[in-house]
Amino acid sequence: MAMKRSPEKGKNMNQEIVIRPCGDQALTVLFEQRISEEIHQQVIRLDIMLQADPAVVEVVPAYASVLVYYDPLAYTYAEMEQRIRKHLTEDRPARETDGKCVVIPVCYGGKHGPDLPFVASHAGLTVSEVIQLHSGREYRIYMLGFLPGFPYLGGMDPKLETPRLPSPRTLIPAGSVGIGGRQTGIYPFDSPGGWRLIGRTPASLFRRSVSGKEKVPIYQAGDRIRFESISPEEYDLMMRERDGC
């Protein structure tokens, strides 16, 4: 039988926060279930605290929740719940939850963004206006998912909201920038996908980890992304430099 948990209110938080078991070695912390930058700052605040908690094995932040993995041989569910409830009452400076801003160069339209004309037509805008709107603001990374390093970005201008493709493409090139509904994001690897492609970045989206044993995304949940429009010639030059040609 699933254990029923009473809601927990964190310090300076008005909405209820619920903690629930998730299998025998994880639990989920549920904030108010809606997409909001204010709520996501609370998610990232808890994520930062848990990353430094020796009782935690892994933390997976999402839009309005945090999945926490722990060692069940070292800590009971009750002990982990108690630790998290303590973290929820602790303050964290807002500046620590804003994250860094990563600038991503994008070549819009043409062969790199075949759906850009459709997005413009759907929005009743010119292609240039779509590019200006898409590259004219910072986007908050709410979570990474679907593929390793795929950033789900919030903050897109509502004018650019565009329905996904009726039938997904079987292959989208790595680095493609797309719009799906009210969100925009970057495909870090070649993969199938149904978002409208408006451009492509020549930037490498991964770097070596501190240990040097693996590659990790150059951004994380809580960071911000700003797109910068570049020409096809700049795109080709950056690709040659990236690939060492």
Same domain, 70 and 105: no
**Which spans in the chain are helix H?**
37-51, 77-88, 116-123, 127-135, 232-243
* pTM, entire model: 0.81
Q: Specify the pLDDT at position 71.
A: 93
DSSP structure string for 23-87: TTSEEEEE--SS--HHHHHHHHHHHHHHHT-TTEEEEEE-SSEEEEEE-TTT--HHHHHHHHHHH
Q: Specify the pLDDT at position 230.
A: 98
Determine contact, residues 208/127, Cβ cutoff 8 Å: no
Contacts for 229 with CB less than 8 Å, ≥ 6 apart:
105, 106, 107, 108, 131, 135
What is the spatial distance between Cα 130 and Cα 119, in angstroms, rounded to a whole number? 8
Rounded to the nearest integer, the mean pLDDT of the chain is: 89
Q: Specify the pLDDT at position 245.
A: 61
Same domain, 235 and 123: yes
Same domain, 128 and 74: no
Same domain, 236 and 137: yes
Domain closes at, from 55, 81, 97: 97
Q: Which of 63-67, 127-131, 214-218 has the lowest mean pLDDT?
A: 214-218
Same domain, 167 and 219: yes
SS3 142: strand
Same domain, 224 and 147: yes
What is the spatial distance between Cα 241 and Cα 233, in angstroms, rounded to a whole number? 12
Which structural domain, as residue segments, surrounds residue 39? Answer: 18-97
Q: Please state the length of the chain.
A: 245
What is the spatial distance between Cα 202 and Cα 90, in angstroms, rounded to a whole number? 41
Same domain, 218 and 121: yes
Structure tokens at 79: 């002990």
Same domain, 164 and 91: no
Q: Is residue 229 part of a domain?
A: yes
Give per-residue pLDDT as tens, 85-113.
999 988 765 556 668 999 999 999 999 99
